Protein backbone atom coordinates (compact mmCIF):
# COMPACT_ATOMS: atom_id res chain seq x y z
CA UNK A 1 0.00 0.00 0.00
CA UNK A 2 2.82 2.39 0.93
CA UNK A 3 4.58 1.56 -2.36
CA UNK A 4 1.41 2.29 -4.34
CA UNK A 5 1.04 5.65 -2.56
CA UNK A 6 4.64 6.62 -3.40
CA UNK A 7 4.13 5.63 -7.03
CA UNK A 8 0.93 7.70 -7.19
CA UNK A 9 2.72 10.76 -5.75
CA UNK A 10 5.57 10.38 -8.25
CA UNK A 11 3.15 10.04 -11.13
CA UNK A 12 1.27 13.17 -10.08
CA UNK A 13 4.60 15.01 -9.73
CA UNK A 14 5.63 14.06 -13.25
CA UNK A 15 2.27 15.17 -14.60
CA UNK A 16 2.50 18.45 -12.71
CA UNK A 17 6.04 19.14 -14.00
CA UNK A 18 4.92 18.21 -17.51
CA UNK A 19 1.94 20.57 -17.24
CA UNK A 20 4.14 23.41 -15.99
CA UNK A 21 6.63 22.81 -18.77
CA UNK A 22 3.79 22.75 -21.29
CA UNK A 23 2.37 25.99 -19.87
CA UNK A 24 5.78 27.69 -20.05
CA UNK A 25 6.26 26.62 -23.65
CA UNK A 26 2.75 27.80 -24.47
CA UNK A 27 3.43 31.16 -22.79
CA UNK A 28 6.65 31.55 -24.80
CA UNK A 29 4.81 30.76 -28.02
CA UNK A 30 2.03 33.20 -27.14
CA UNK A 31 4.61 35.85 -26.23
CA UNK A 32 6.39 35.39 -29.56
CA UNK A 33 3.08 35.52 -31.42
CA UNK A 34 2.29 38.87 -29.77
CA UNK A 35 5.35 40.49 -31.39
CA UNK A 36 3.83 42.04 -34.47
CA UNK A 37 3.94 45.44 -36.05
CA UNK A 38 6.87 47.61 -37.15
CA UNK A 39 10.15 48.87 -35.73
CA UNK A 40 12.09 51.57 -37.57
CA UNK A 41 15.79 52.03 -36.85
CA UNK A 42 18.11 54.60 -38.44
CA UNK A 43 21.57 56.02 -37.90
CA UNK A 44 25.21 54.92 -37.88
CA UNK A 45 26.74 53.29 -40.93
CA UNK A 46 29.04 51.41 -38.55
CA UNK A 47 26.15 49.46 -37.04
CA UNK A 48 23.83 49.18 -40.05
CA UNK A 49 25.24 45.94 -41.61
CA UNK A 50 25.04 44.11 -38.29
CA UNK A 51 21.62 45.56 -37.48
CA UNK A 52 20.26 44.25 -40.79
CA UNK A 53 21.50 40.75 -39.94
CA UNK A 54 20.07 40.99 -36.42
CA UNK A 55 16.74 42.11 -37.88
CA UNK A 56 16.59 39.21 -40.32
CA UNK A 57 17.36 36.64 -37.62
CA UNK A 58 14.94 38.13 -35.09
CA UNK A 59 12.05 38.34 -37.58
CA UNK A 60 12.60 34.68 -38.43
CA UNK A 61 11.58 34.03 -34.82
CA UNK A 62 8.79 36.62 -35.03
CA UNK A 63 7.39 36.52 -38.58
CA UNK A 64 4.61 39.04 -37.84
CA UNK A 65 7.18 41.70 -36.95
CA UNK A 66 8.75 44.00 -39.56
CA UNK A 67 12.02 45.84 -38.83
CA UNK A 68 13.16 48.67 -41.11
CA UNK A 69 16.86 49.60 -40.96
CA UNK A 70 18.17 52.81 -42.55
CA UNK A 71 21.82 53.94 -42.68
CA UNK A 72 22.04 57.74 -42.72
CA UNK A 73 24.70 58.58 -40.11
CA UNK A 74 24.63 58.98 -36.33
CA UNK A 75 23.43 62.60 -36.36
CA UNK A 76 20.55 61.87 -38.74
CA UNK A 77 19.60 58.79 -36.73
CA UNK A 78 19.31 60.78 -33.49
CA UNK A 79 17.30 63.45 -35.32
CA UNK A 80 14.92 60.81 -36.73
CA UNK A 81 14.42 59.29 -33.28
CA UNK A 82 13.76 62.65 -31.62
CA UNK A 83 11.24 63.59 -34.34
CA UNK A 84 9.40 60.27 -34.01
CA UNK A 85 10.39 59.01 -37.45
CA UNK A 86 12.05 56.00 -35.83
CA UNK A 87 11.98 54.28 -32.45
CA UNK A 88 15.71 53.56 -32.28
CA UNK A 89 18.82 55.50 -33.33
CA UNK A 90 22.03 53.65 -34.15
CA UNK A 91 24.88 55.71 -32.66
CA UNK A 92 28.61 55.15 -33.15
CA UNK A 93 30.03 57.74 -30.76
CA UNK A 94 29.48 59.06 -27.26
CA UNK A 95 26.41 61.17 -26.72
CA UNK A 96 27.08 64.90 -27.00
CA UNK A 97 26.34 67.24 -24.05
CA UNK A 98 22.99 68.40 -25.48
CA UNK A 99 22.00 64.77 -26.10
CA UNK A 100 22.97 63.85 -22.53
CA UNK A 101 20.90 66.78 -21.29
CA UNK A 102 17.87 65.38 -23.12
CA UNK A 103 18.15 62.28 -20.87
CA UNK A 104 18.05 59.87 -23.78
CA UNK A 105 18.20 56.15 -22.95
CA UNK A 106 21.14 54.29 -24.49
CA UNK A 107 22.61 50.80 -24.45
CA UNK A 108 25.89 49.51 -25.92
CA UNK A 109 25.42 46.52 -28.24
CA UNK A 110 28.84 46.05 -29.94
CA UNK A 111 32.32 47.54 -30.29
CA UNK A 112 34.03 48.83 -33.41
CA UNK A 113 37.32 50.49 -34.38
CA UNK A 114 38.23 53.08 -37.02
CA UNK A 115 41.18 52.42 -39.36
CA UNK A 116 43.28 54.37 -41.86
CA UNK A 117 42.82 52.86 -45.35
CA UNK A 118 44.43 53.40 -48.75
CA UNK A 119 44.06 52.27 -52.35
CA UNK A 120 45.23 48.68 -52.97
CA UNK A 121 47.91 50.12 -55.30
CA UNK A 122 49.15 52.57 -52.67
CA UNK A 123 52.71 53.71 -53.54
CA UNK A 124 55.60 52.22 -51.55
CA UNK A 125 53.41 49.64 -49.80
CA UNK A 126 56.33 47.33 -48.98
CA UNK A 127 57.93 50.20 -47.06
CA UNK A 128 54.72 51.40 -45.43
CA UNK A 129 53.66 48.01 -44.07
CA UNK A 130 56.94 47.69 -42.16
CA UNK A 131 57.38 51.36 -41.25
CA UNK A 132 53.77 52.31 -40.59
CA UNK A 133 52.36 55.79 -40.29
CA UNK A 134 52.28 57.94 -37.16
CA UNK A 135 49.43 59.90 -35.63
CA UNK A 136 51.34 63.12 -36.32
CA UNK A 137 51.60 62.28 -40.02
CA UNK A 138 47.89 61.49 -40.18
CA UNK A 139 47.14 64.79 -38.46
CA UNK A 140 49.20 66.65 -41.09
CA UNK A 141 47.33 64.90 -43.90
CA UNK A 142 43.80 65.40 -42.59
CA UNK A 143 44.28 68.95 -41.31
CA UNK A 144 45.30 70.05 -44.80
CA UNK A 145 48.01 72.28 -43.34
CA UNK A 146 50.64 70.82 -45.65
CA UNK A 147 50.54 69.11 -49.06
CA UNK A 148 52.20 65.72 -48.67
CA UNK A 149 53.31 62.96 -51.00
CA UNK A 150 53.42 59.25 -50.35
CA UNK A 151 57.18 59.64 -50.30
CA UNK A 152 56.82 61.97 -47.31
CA UNK A 153 54.83 59.29 -45.48
CA UNK A 154 56.98 56.32 -46.46
CA UNK A 155 60.39 58.01 -46.25
CA UNK A 156 61.06 57.44 -49.95
CA UNK A 157 61.35 59.59 -53.07
CA UNK A 158 57.85 58.76 -54.36
CA UNK A 159 56.14 61.92 -55.59
CA UNK A 160 52.52 60.69 -55.74
CA UNK A 161 50.35 63.28 -53.95
CA UNK A 162 48.28 62.06 -51.01
CA UNK A 163 44.58 62.52 -51.83
CA UNK A 164 42.73 62.89 -48.55
CA UNK A 165 39.20 61.44 -48.35
CA UNK A 166 36.84 62.05 -45.45
CA UNK A 167 33.14 61.78 -44.57
CA UNK A 168 30.37 64.06 -45.75
CA UNK A 169 27.80 62.96 -43.18
CA UNK A 170 27.76 63.59 -39.43
CA UNK A 171 29.15 60.19 -38.51
CA UNK A 172 30.52 58.60 -35.39
CA UNK A 173 33.58 57.38 -37.33
CA UNK A 174 34.39 60.95 -38.35
CA UNK A 175 33.95 62.14 -34.76
CA UNK A 176 36.27 59.39 -33.43
CA UNK A 177 38.86 59.96 -36.18
CA UNK A 178 38.96 63.73 -35.62
CA UNK A 179 39.27 63.31 -31.85
CA UNK A 180 42.14 60.84 -32.26
CA UNK A 181 43.98 63.37 -34.43
CA UNK A 182 43.35 66.21 -31.98
CA UNK A 183 41.10 68.01 -34.47
CA UNK A 184 37.45 69.02 -34.63
CA UNK A 185 35.21 67.60 -37.34
CA UNK A 186 35.22 71.01 -39.03
CA UNK A 187 39.02 70.88 -39.26
CA UNK A 188 39.10 67.61 -41.23
CA UNK A 189 39.98 68.33 -44.86
CA UNK A 190 39.57 66.19 -47.96
CA UNK A 191 37.11 64.93 -50.54
CA UNK A 192 33.88 64.39 -48.61
CA UNK A 193 31.99 61.17 -49.31
CA UNK A 194 28.80 59.75 -47.74
CA UNK A 195 29.23 56.70 -45.52
CA UNK A 196 31.94 54.05 -45.37
CA UNK A 197 30.90 52.71 -48.75
CA UNK A 198 31.27 56.15 -50.31
CA UNK A 199 34.76 56.62 -48.84
CA UNK A 200 35.86 53.18 -50.02
CA UNK A 201 34.46 53.70 -53.53
CA UNK A 202 36.39 56.98 -53.83
CA UNK A 203 39.62 55.40 -52.54
CA UNK A 204 39.28 52.61 -55.09
CA UNK A 205 39.43 55.25 -57.83
CA UNK A 206 42.36 57.19 -56.33
CA UNK A 207 45.78 55.51 -56.42
CA UNK A 208 47.00 58.09 -53.90
CA UNK A 209 43.82 57.98 -51.83
CA UNK A 210 44.01 57.93 -48.03
CA UNK A 211 40.91 57.82 -45.83
CA UNK A 212 39.37 56.05 -42.85
CA UNK A 213 36.52 53.63 -42.26
CA UNK A 214 34.88 51.49 -39.63
CA UNK A 215 37.00 48.38 -39.14
CA UNK A 216 34.71 45.65 -40.45
CA UNK A 217 34.37 47.43 -43.82
CA UNK A 218 38.12 46.92 -44.38
CA UNK A 219 38.01 43.11 -44.07
CA UNK A 220 36.57 40.20 -46.01
CA UNK A 221 33.82 38.77 -43.82
CA UNK A 222 34.46 35.20 -44.95
CA UNK A 223 38.17 34.83 -44.25
CA UNK A 224 38.57 37.81 -41.87
CA UNK A 225 41.58 39.04 -43.88
CA UNK A 226 42.06 42.52 -45.37
CA UNK A 227 39.69 43.24 -48.25
CA UNK A 228 41.35 42.74 -51.65
CA UNK A 229 40.50 46.28 -52.81
CA UNK A 230 42.09 48.12 -49.85
CA UNK A 231 45.21 48.40 -47.74
CA UNK A 232 44.94 49.06 -44.01
CA UNK A 233 47.85 51.31 -43.06
CA UNK A 234 49.41 50.14 -39.76
CA UNK A 235 49.89 52.82 -37.10
CA UNK A 236 53.33 53.26 -35.54
CA UNK A 237 52.03 54.01 -32.04
CA UNK A 238 55.39 54.29 -30.28
CA UNK A 239 56.91 56.34 -33.16
CA UNK A 240 60.08 54.26 -33.40
CA UNK A 241 59.99 54.14 -37.20
CA UNK A 242 58.84 50.53 -37.52
CA UNK A 243 55.88 48.27 -36.87
CA UNK A 244 56.88 46.15 -33.87
CA UNK A 245 55.45 42.69 -33.21
CA UNK A 246 52.89 44.11 -30.78
CA UNK A 247 51.76 46.61 -33.45
CA UNK A 248 51.54 44.01 -36.23
CA UNK A 249 47.91 42.86 -36.14
CA UNK A 250 46.21 44.56 -39.11
CA UNK A 251 46.25 41.61 -41.53
CA UNK A 252 43.67 39.64 -39.57
CA UNK A 253 40.40 40.91 -38.09
CA UNK A 254 40.53 38.53 -35.13
CA UNK A 255 44.05 39.75 -34.29
CA UNK A 256 42.77 43.32 -34.49
CA UNK A 257 39.97 42.47 -32.04
CA UNK A 258 42.47 40.93 -29.65
CA UNK A 259 44.70 44.00 -29.92
CA UNK A 260 41.72 46.22 -29.13
CA UNK A 261 40.90 44.03 -26.10
CA UNK A 262 44.51 44.15 -24.86
CA UNK A 263 44.89 47.88 -25.55
CA UNK A 264 47.72 47.64 -28.11
CA UNK A 265 45.36 49.07 -30.74
CA UNK A 266 44.84 52.78 -29.93
CA UNK A 267 41.92 52.89 -27.50
CA UNK A 268 40.92 56.31 -28.83
CA UNK A 269 40.05 54.64 -32.14
CA UNK A 270 37.82 51.98 -30.57
CA UNK A 271 34.37 52.77 -29.21
CA UNK A 272 31.02 51.28 -28.26
CA UNK A 273 28.19 51.17 -30.77
CA UNK A 274 24.91 52.10 -29.11
CA UNK A 275 21.17 52.00 -29.53
CA UNK A 276 19.57 55.23 -28.35
CA UNK A 277 15.90 55.86 -27.55
CA UNK A 278 13.89 58.70 -26.03
CA UNK A 279 13.22 56.67 -22.89
CA UNK A 280 13.73 53.13 -21.63
CA UNK A 281 11.80 50.95 -24.09
CA UNK A 282 8.29 50.04 -23.03
CA UNK A 283 7.10 48.86 -26.44
CA UNK A 284 7.13 45.02 -26.19
CA UNK A 285 8.55 44.73 -29.71
CA UNK A 286 11.47 47.08 -29.06
CA UNK A 287 12.16 45.69 -25.59
CA UNK A 288 12.21 42.08 -26.81
CA UNK A 289 14.48 42.96 -29.75
CA UNK A 290 16.99 44.83 -27.59
CA UNK A 291 17.05 41.96 -25.06
CA UNK A 292 17.67 39.45 -27.87
CA UNK A 293 20.52 41.60 -29.27
CA UNK A 294 22.19 41.63 -25.85
CA UNK A 295 22.00 37.84 -25.54
CA UNK A 296 21.70 35.68 -28.67
CA UNK A 297 22.74 38.57 -30.91
CA UNK A 298 26.23 38.85 -29.42
CA UNK A 299 27.42 35.62 -31.01
CA UNK A 300 26.22 36.90 -34.38
CA UNK A 301 28.09 40.19 -33.83
CA UNK A 302 31.34 38.32 -33.23
CA UNK A 303 30.86 36.13 -36.31
CA UNK A 304 30.30 39.21 -38.50
CA UNK A 305 33.52 40.97 -37.59
CA UNK A 306 32.43 43.12 -34.65
CA UNK A 307 33.70 42.98 -31.09
CA UNK A 308 31.09 41.70 -28.66
CA UNK A 309 30.57 43.70 -25.50
CA UNK A 310 31.83 42.36 -22.17
CA UNK A 311 29.65 40.01 -20.12
CA UNK A 312 29.51 42.50 -17.24
CA UNK A 313 28.21 45.17 -19.64
CA UNK A 314 25.54 42.77 -20.91
CA UNK A 315 24.45 41.97 -17.36
CA UNK A 316 24.21 45.64 -16.44
CA UNK A 317 22.31 46.48 -19.63
CA UNK A 318 19.77 43.70 -19.07
CA UNK A 319 19.19 44.89 -15.50
CA UNK A 320 18.60 48.44 -16.76
CA UNK A 321 16.24 47.13 -19.44
CA UNK A 322 14.13 45.31 -16.86
Domains of the chain in sequence order? 36-111+272-321 (3.40.190.10), 113-270 (3.40.190.10)
Cut 0.85: pTM above it: no
Crossing angle of helices 135-143/172-180, nearest 10°?
120
For residue 7, the model assigns a pLDDT of: 41
pLDDT of residue 15 exceeding 90, the answer is no
Distance in angstroms (rounded) separating the CA atoms of residues 13 and 17: 6
Structural contact between residues 65 and 39, judged by C-beta atoms closer than 8 angstroms:
yes
pLDDT of residue 3 exceeding 70, the answer is no
pLDDT of residue 216 exceeding 70, the answer is yes
Highest mean pLDDT among 95-99, 149-153, 262-266: 149-153
Given pLDDT bands bounded at 50, 70 and 90, which one contains residue 26?
very low
For residue 77, the model assigns a pLDDT of: 96
For residue 4, the model assigns a pLDDT of: 45
For residue 295, the model assigns a pLDDT of: 95
**Which residues are paired to 42 by β-bridges?**
70, 89
Given pLDDT bands bounded at 50, 70 and 90, which one contains residue 25?
very low
pLDDT of residue 310 exceeding 50, the answer is yes
For residue 172, the model assigns a pLDDT of: 87
H/E element holding 276? strand 270-277
Q: Which residue has the higher pLDDT, 191 or 32?
A: 191
**Mean of the per-residue pLDDT values of the chain:** 88
pLDDT of residue 2 exceeding 80, the answer is no
Q: Which of 2-16, 61-75, 109-123, 215-229 has the lowest mean pLDDT?
A: 2-16
Rounded mean pLDDT, 229-243: 96
pLDDT of residue 5 exceeding 60, the answer is no
Rounded mean pLDDT, 110-133: 95
Buried b (16+ CB within 10 A) or exposed e, 194-232: bbbebbbebbeebbbbbbbbbbbbbbeeeebebbeebbb
Distance in angstroms (rounded) separating the CA atoms of residues 218 and 288: 32
Given pLDDT bands bounded at 50, 70 and 90, which one contains residue 262?
confident
Q: What percent of the chain has pLDDT over 70?
A: 90
Rounded mean pLDDT, 215-233: 92
Amino acid sequence: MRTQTIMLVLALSVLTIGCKRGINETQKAESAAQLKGDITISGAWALEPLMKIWSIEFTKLNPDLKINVIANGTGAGIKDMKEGKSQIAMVSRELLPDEEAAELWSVSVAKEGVLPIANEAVPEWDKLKTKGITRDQLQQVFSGNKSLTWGDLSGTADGTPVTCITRADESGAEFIWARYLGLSIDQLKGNEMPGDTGVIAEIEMQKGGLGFCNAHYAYDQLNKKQAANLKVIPIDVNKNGKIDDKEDFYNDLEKLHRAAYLGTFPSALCRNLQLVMKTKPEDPNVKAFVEWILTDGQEIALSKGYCEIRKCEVKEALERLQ
